[in-house]
Amino acid sequence: CHQYDGQGVGEAPPLEGSSWVKGPQDRLIKIVLHGVRGKIEVQGRTYDREMPGFGSILTDEDLASLLSFVRSRFGGPSDPIRAAAVGRVRAANQHRTRYWTVGELLEQR
């Protein structure tokens, strides 16, 4: 959906330079664990799609590795995301069964 170059395609927003990629690591972890839906603004354009969560199929280590790559490739220099951070976010939201809304994610800094 986001393409190999992070530019997105169609209604999938770009990852390259996105404040969602560069922003708080817990927010990014939540998106990939549980998914997100609703209107989301990326680089001045509004997208209204949903992204599924991958928490049920990715381990903490896999998710940390994936997100570390995405942040370094498309968000600029940043510290790696650790599996322990993913595990902490996963445990804190273990009963969540629905996608995050954009509003929920923006409220949590």
- Does the pLDDT value for residue 109 go beyond 70? no
Digit-coded pLDDT (tens) for 16-29:
989 999 999 999 99
- Does the pLDDT value for residue 7 go beyond 90? no
Structure tokens at 5: 């170059």
Report, as an integer, the average pLDDT of 93-106: 95
pLDDT at position 11 is 82
Digit-coded pLDDT (tens) for 35-83:
999 999 998 999 998 999 999 999 999 999 999 999 999 998 889 999 9
User: 71-98 as b/e, with b when 16 or more CB fall inside 10 Å?
Assistant: beebbeeeeebebebbbebbeebeeeee
